[in-house]
Amino acid sequence: MRSLAGIAFFVTTMFTFVDTSQTLKASGAPQLLPSANEFRLTLAEDSHSKLPLGPSCTGEAAETLTCRAFTVTLENLSKKAVRISWGGCNEPQIRIDRKLSNSSSGWFPVSSIRSETCRPMTWASIRLTPGEEHTHATRLISPRRYAETFEPGSYTLRAEWVLFGCTEEPEGTDCLGSLQVVHPPSVASSFDFQEPVAVISNEVTLDAPVLPDFGHLKFTFEVSARQGPPPASSAKKSVDCTGDANASIDCIVFHYAIHNVGDRPIRHGGYSCSGFGITPEYRPAHGEWQPVPFPAWVCTANIFFEMPILPGKTAEGDFILSTLAPGYNTSVLRAAGDYSFRCYFWPNACFASPDGAFCLARPEKQEAVRSPELSVRLSAAPVH
């Protein structure tokens, strides 16, 4: 499992190549397909779909809106034949959004493809003559698609298909073949350098059902500690963990373990800046329990993330107090001596689909879990 700071950001790089035989738009890329208004996109629920349910959609999850099947039908309204293509490892570039009034666009994505890179590169494509249709069937979630959770209620959905391809000039010409040739040392073809055409579908309104009561979340929580040095991803750059300083508070590495002892998968969420739900307390020898203080903090992107914990499994990782979000003030622990520590785990969790991919229901009441006490002998922290 990933550590508290373990948020991965995936950046996709597009290699672009100019085809000077095309008339370039203001963006610098040619549009090789007719305009969006020369296509029609139709989204419809397919209640009689024969698509497999997949690992996310067995049991009660099969009843959710996330697991519903849909058809997305693209019709060519233009007077010319077109070819549409996409990476052969993936589904077409179809995203499904739900209406959300407080978003900048009025819509929020709830189902999108998982982009994978084939090696060697392969392509999938369709050809549409004037008036011809192509229908793609999918569930909102599948092994090849990410999807969001829907709380019980009514939702308005629409689809957007981002088209890459070309127009046959004259009809019957294979306009794709030459575009998709890769000429080494380049790693992409001129096909990648074009102005895509985004076609938006009709709107459909559907209900997400109320699921049965799944009971209570069941966790146990443990924290242990060891002397440093801490992992580079957790340590502050200015911390000295050599010699006796290795046992000072900013070098002590705490290890957490969150055990799902229930019989259902769960997803636990946290924020990159404000925390993952773990709050520490300390007690000096012969003293009282006190929370480790933390200073006021500023964050420009407090990113929410979740991780699944399957039944009987454990989420675990390491942290040091000074970098545990939101960043604790360890000045009260810089004197040498014997200390006791304990931590509280505040779940922000839901009951999840069988594979832990999305939430089914979120209990209103989530009790904090306290770790057993542990004793740590600290050396004096170096003075900077």
Phi, psi dihedrals of residue 178, rounded to the nearest 5°: -70, -30
pLDDT value at position 8?
31
Domains, in order of start, for the chain = 36-208 (no CATH), 219-378 (2.60.40)
CA distance 70 to 184: 40
Residue 21 has pLDDT above 80, yes or no: no
Cα 270-274-276 angle, rounded to 5 deg:
30
DSSP reduced 3-state for 245? helix
Does residue 181 register a pLDDT over 80? yes
pLDDT tens digit string along 337-354?
999 999 999 999 999 999
User: 152-161, 181-190, 270-279, 334-343 — which is least confidently predicted?
Assistant: 181-190
pLDDT at 234: 67
Overall average pLDDT of the 6-24 stretch? 31
Tokens of 16: 């672009």
How far apart CA 87 and CA 182 sit, in angstroms, is: 14
Confidence (pTM) = 0.81
DSSP 191-209: GGSS--EEEEEEEEEEEEP
Task: Please state, rounded to an integer, the average pLDDT across all residues of the chain.
Answer: 88
Paired strand residues for 43: 72
Cβ-contact 370, 341 below 8 angstroms: no
Share of the chain above pLDDT 70, in %: 90
Give the tens place of pLDDT for each residue, 73-107. Answer: 999 999 999 999 998 777 899 999 999 988 888 99
